[in-house]
Amino acid sequence: MRVACGLLTGLVLIGSAASAGAEDTSMCGRKADMVDLILHMQSEALEKVWTDNKLFVYRDRTDGTQWVFSMPKTTVHPAAACRRKAGDKMEAALLCGAGEKACESFQVQAAERMDKVEASASE
């Protein structure tokens, strides 16, 4: 399992989460576990705001966190990325078990889509 967490200050730290430490790892206030995140997708607090044939974006109505999930049959599935305001900074995280290049590509696509969703919401 790959977990990347960081503040959007230009660097995102990528590391391998050991199974013992994975329970302590969180992403945008949720447990960094794909099963937990998929179950969270069913929450009434989440609204689907965008989708295509590669990924879909949800927004949490309670705190504004954006969630991006890969679609089945993509090279990174299952993968998830999130972004939320944490005080005066922006927190971003990635959960991806695919190869490094595929995960980096998903991270870039997820960030671009979250930017577009935010821009369209503020118009």
Convert the pLDDT of each residue in 22-59 to its tens digit: 445 789 999 999 999 989 889 999 999 999 999 999 99
State the pLDDT confidence band at 107, using cuts at 50, 70 and 90.
very high
Q: What are the domain boundaries of the chain?
A: 34-118
Q: What is the pTM of this model?
A: 0.79
Sign of CA dihedral 107, 109, 84, 45: negative
The span from the CA of 49 to the CA of 117, in Å, is 8
State the pLDDT confidence band at 4, using cuts at 50, 70 and 90.
low
The span from the CA of 19 to the CA of 24, in Å, is 10
